[in-house]
Amino acid sequence: MSTLAYTMSDTSTMLRRQLKHMIRYPSLSIMLIGMPVVILLLFTYVFGGTLGDGLGGTTGGREAYLAYVTPGILLMTISGVMQGTAIGVATDMTQGIIDRFRTMSIARVSVLTGHVIGAVIQTFLAMALVLGVAIALGYRPEADALDWLGLVGVVAVITLGLTWLTVALGMSAKSVEEASNTPMFLMLLPFLGSAFVPTDSMPTVMQYFADYQPFTPFIEVVRSLLTGTAVDTTDLALAGAWSLALGLLGYVIAKKKFNKS
Amino acid sequence: MNTQKPLAISARNLTKSYGDNDVLKGIDIAVPEGSVFSLLGPNGAGKTTTVNILTTLIPSNGGDAFVGGNHVKNDADEVRKIIGVTGQFAAVDGLLTGRENLHLMGNLHHLGKKETRRRSEELLERFDLVDAAGRAPATYSGGMKRRLDLAMCLMGDPRIIFLDEPTTGLDPRSRRTVWEIVRELVKGGTTVFLTTQYLEEADELADRIAVLNDGKIVAEGTPAELKRTISGGHISLRLHRADQVESAAQILSASGFDADQLTVQVPSDGSVSSLRNVLDTLDREGVEVDEMSIHTPDLDDVFLALTGGDKTAA
């Protein structure tokens, strides 16, 4: 077998290990998927009536708000899965088996790649579930086949970027507790962006931050695709650039940490 | 000597420090192929650090080490291909079953599906884990976990095995099982590098022992050689009459005596002939003896003497 074939084989072995972990220990996954669902219900049924009127659309009200908030909640779902990933990575690093992997002649990065691909799969499953709940509440996406395809691609790129960053956070944490806290900002950023209210309703300084932080372009691209409207090229470029930058940063840090410690 | 076996593990002047803390202060190691080498030392002596360097887990600060002829830093991947490591803490995946843990190893060694299954079942059988194979290691006893750990380490059929305190925390029976496994491996030609804080263990298993204390090797040799290096062996006599103590000590060239306690210590290797010699001399000189005991040195004497402990208790 060639080096590439070995790397592929080791990565698939590690991915299968991750998937088994998710199935054997589902409580974490359930909790992480439950959180965005609760926020979706809260914002639709508690705040939705009032917030929907403030959107300035023709209809307003709860229904309009559900349509507005769903893309933001979908991005929050990624944040939730990331938290689980950071915990998973940190837990793994505290176990003796990682030292065993390190003393074996395997493609080293496969240990981390297993986590990353596992997280991407988990994200897609979680997002499909949350989207299902939104549809049950009355949300109606207007995307055509091409939009859905684009959505899958965009979500995959965003998730890859965020996951590598999260793996680096998990590797850098000194304990599992710390690892469960450090990705918290990923949960907060949607609030400081366009997930729940349009950014032009915010004060100037706040709006400036909100428009350029990673989650606003992520949310806007997903929102455009789901509503079947044209994607803003600036948002698309920003979303791509952020994903790439965060992913690369995370990859470099994670790899360095794995080889060192 | 050209009859000497090639070295499976060798190290020259290995050093490692964490900040101001010098963990290894320049140690040399030479382990011939097919032998058992034991690094013996108290907690904090640097045993695990040495294993971590030799198994490519951490780099040394100074010195060179070779495993199977490969430099541990420059050819780390070549080293990893031929070693198996069982660390101090069970390196098993707690969420996979015992069998899945072995399959995981087989897949990572690229053994192929059939060979992975065959070897897994063989090892489960050999280590008495067939009944537990379908359960997660979280439900295992300490001894079972250690056996699974060893089985995982053997999936890749390593030429050189590192065992870091393989029996720490095990009950005596599990410990004997681990010893049996080690002996079997050596019979098959595997080189074993073992660290332990139990003298009995090193004495039972090792061809050569190095005593590590405070980052330095303070003694090295076969178990027998180490025992000879220390003057622990003697015959202890308690005489009947106080006035005979000093003269008896002189005649027997004693290593020490105590007139108040009526005791005399005569150096001895514990053999029957040396014992007969002492008794004959005492008879000839008409010395009355109330009590006699033979003290042969064991590795405890060596260990405690070399690592600066108190050996009066022995």
Pairwise CB contact (< 8 Å): B93 & A97 = yes
Q: What is the pTM of this model?
A: 0.81
Contact B195, B164 (CB under 8 A): yes
Distance of CA B265 to the CA centre of its chain: 31
Average pLDDT over residues B59-78: 93
Nearest to A18 by CA among A83, A77, A85, A78: A85
User: Residue B2 pLDDT > 60, yes or no?
Assistant: no
pLDDT, one tens digit per residue, over B250-267 is: 888 887 888 888 888 888
pLDDT value for B312: 40
pLDDT tops 70 at residue B310: no
pLDDT computed for residue B119 by the predictor: 96
Q: Which residue of B has its CA nearest to A107?
A: B108
DSSP annotation of A229 reads: P
Chain A closest CA to B210's CA: distance in Å? 24
Residue A8 exposed, middle or buried by CB count within 10 Å (0-12, 13-18, 19+): middle
Distance CA B98, CA B132 (A): 7
100-129 of A, contacting B, C-beta below 8 A: 100-106
Q: How far is B212 from chain A (nearest CA, A)?
A: 23
What pLDDT is attached to residue B299? 65
Q: Spell out which residues of chain A touch residue B90, defining contact as CB-CB under 8 Å.
A: 96
Query: Which pLDDT value is given to residue B298?
Result: 67
Q: Report the percentage of chain B scoring pLDDT > 90.
A: 48
Does B110 contact A103 at a Cβ distance shorter than 8 Å?
no
Sort out which chain B residues have CB atoms less than 8 A from A24's CB and list them: 95-96, 136
How far away is chain A from the Cα of B229, in angstroms, using its nearest Cα? 37
For an interface test with B, the pick among A7, A95, A99, A104 (most B C-beta atoms closer than 10 Å) comes out as A104
Q: Residue count of chain A, please give it.
A: 261
Name the residue of chain B whose CA is nearest to A6's CA: B110
Can you tell me the distance from the alpha carbon of A133 to that of A10, in angstroms, rounded to the nearest whole number? 36
The larger pLDDT score, comparing residue A126 to residue B235, is at A126
Q: How many CB pairs under 8 A join A and B?
A: 57
* pLDDT on residue B309: 52
Q: Which range (A69-78, A113-122, B50-59, B224-233) has the least confidence? A: B224-233
What percent of chain B is modeled with pLDDT above 70?
A: 92
The verdict on A3 touching B (C-beta cutoff 8 Å) is no
The residue in chain A having the minimum alpha-carbon distance to the alpha carbon of residue B56 is A103
Amino acid at the residue A32:
L
- Min CA distance, B255 vs chain A (Å)? 51
The pLDDT, as a whole number, for residue B225 is: 82
Q: Locate all alpha helices (DSSP H) within A55-95, ordered by sequence.
A: 61-94
- B7-228 and B234-293 have identical folds: no
Per-residue pLDDT, averaged over B274-291, amounts to: 87
Cβ <8 Å between A97 and B109:
no
- Residue A79: how many CB atoms within 10 A of its CB? 23
Residue type, B207: D
Contact residues, chain A, for B169 at CB < 8 Å: none
Separation between Cα atoms, residue A76 and residue A68, nearest integer Å: 14
Tell me what the mean pLDDT of segment A58-66 comes to: 84
Chain A residues lying within 8 Å of B107, measured CB to CB: 9, 13
Distance from CA of B61 to the nearest CA of A (A): 14
Q: What is the SS3 assignment for chain B?
A: CCCCCCEEEEEEEEEEEECCEEEEEEEEEEEECCCEEEEECCCCCCHHHHHHHHCCCCCCCEEEEEECCEECCCCHHHHHHHEEEECCCCCCCCCCCHHHHHHHHHHHCCCCHHHHHHHHHHHHHHCCCCCCCCCCHHHCCHHHHHHHHHHHHHCCCCCEEEEECCCCCCCHHHHHHHHHHHHHHHHCCCEEEEEECCHHHHHHHCCEEEEEECCEEEEEECHHHHHHCCCCCEEEEEECCHHHHHHHHHHCCCCEEECCCCEEEEECCCCHHHHHHHHHHHHHHCCCEEEEEEECCCHHHHHHHHCCCCCCCC
Give the per-residue pLDDT at B61. 93
Least-confidence region, from A93-97, A163-167, A236-240, B185-189: A93-97
| Across A29-51, average pLDDT | 89
**What's the pLDDT tens digit per position in B197-251?**
888 888 889 999 999 988 999 889 988 887 777 656 778 889 888 888 888 888 8
Q: Does B92 touch chain A (CB under 8 A)?
A: yes
Angle of helix B98-108 relative to helix B113-126, nearest 10 degrees? 130
Whether the CB of A4 is below 8 Å from some CB of chain B: the reply is: no
CB < 8 Å to B96, chain A: 17, 20, 24
Q: How far apart are CA B185 and CA B83, in angstroms?
A: 13
What is d(CA B214, CA B25) in angstroms, rounded to the nearest whole number? 8
Q: Which residues contact A49 (CB under 8 A, 6 or more apart)?
A: A61, A62, A65
How confident is the model at residue B231, as a pLDDT? 57
- CA pseudo-torsion sign B169, B170, B176, B178: negative
Strand, helix or coil at A237? helix
CB contact under 8 A, A103 and B56: yes
Provide the terminal-to-terminal Cα distance of chain A, rounded to the nearest Å: 29
pLDDT in tens, A176-234: 889 988 988 999 999 999 999 888 889 999 999 999 999 999 999 999 999 989 889 99
Contact B211, B302 (CB under 8 A): yes
Q: Identify the DSSP state of A138.
A: T
The domain ranges of chain B are 7-228, 234-293
| B104 in reach of chain A (CB within 8 A) | yes
Q: Decide if pLDDT at A244 tops 50.
A: yes
A239 vs B43, higher pLDDT: A239
User: A214 and A208 in contact (C-beta within 8 Å)?
Assistant: no
Average pLDDT, rounded, for chain A: 91
- Where residue B81 falls among pLDDT bands split at 50, 70, 90? very high
Helices and strands: H and E segment counts in chain A: 12, 0
Where b means 16+ CB within 10 Å and e means fewer, A115-128 reads bbbbbbbbbbebbe
Domain B234-293 sits in CATH at 3.30.70
**What CATH number was assigned to the domain covering residues B7-228?**
3.40.50.300
Mean of the per-residue pLDDT values of chain B: 87
Choose from B49, B70, B72, B93 for mutation: most chain A CBs within 10 A.
B93
Strands B191-196 and B208-213, how do they pair?
Answer: unpaired
